[in-house]
Amino acid sequence: MEFVLSDDEIKIDIKKMKISKEIKDAIVSLPDFRKRKMDISLLNFVMNMLENLIKKKYCLGKKDILIEVYNEAFGKLSDDELTAISKNIEYLLKSGSIKQFSGLYKIWIRIKRYFR
């Protein structure tokens, strides 16, 4: 028995793949990125990217994407590392470090990037 994916599911999978690749490429481009595996500033950077790349209509699990990206960039995470990352995510959410930027701000950033 074969299952057929709807167009919406395919679009969501493609969007998830693009977001994962963009974040993984950003992590890997950092100097000595392997040393930053458990760095809370890197986690904050990645969570802010996820917050601002995923539109609400896609209903993607941000934590699942983060773990997938970390596994691809750093290799399989241990249970202790996953627990630490979860606790750090909770801390970042409670402290207000993860922010959703407005659409106008995102457009402004793209314009600035274009003219560099």
Question: What is the residue extent of each domain of the chain?
Answer: 7-114
Instruction: Give the model's pLDDT for residue 13.
Output: 84
Residue 7: pLDDT band with limits 50, 70, 90 = confident
pLDDT over 70 at 51, yes or no: yes
Rounded to two decimals, the pTM is 0.75
Rg of the chain on CA atoms, in Å: 16
- Least confident piece of the model among 59-68, 74-83, 102-111: 102-111
- Does 83 have pLDDT greater than 60? yes
Res 1 pLDDT > 60: no
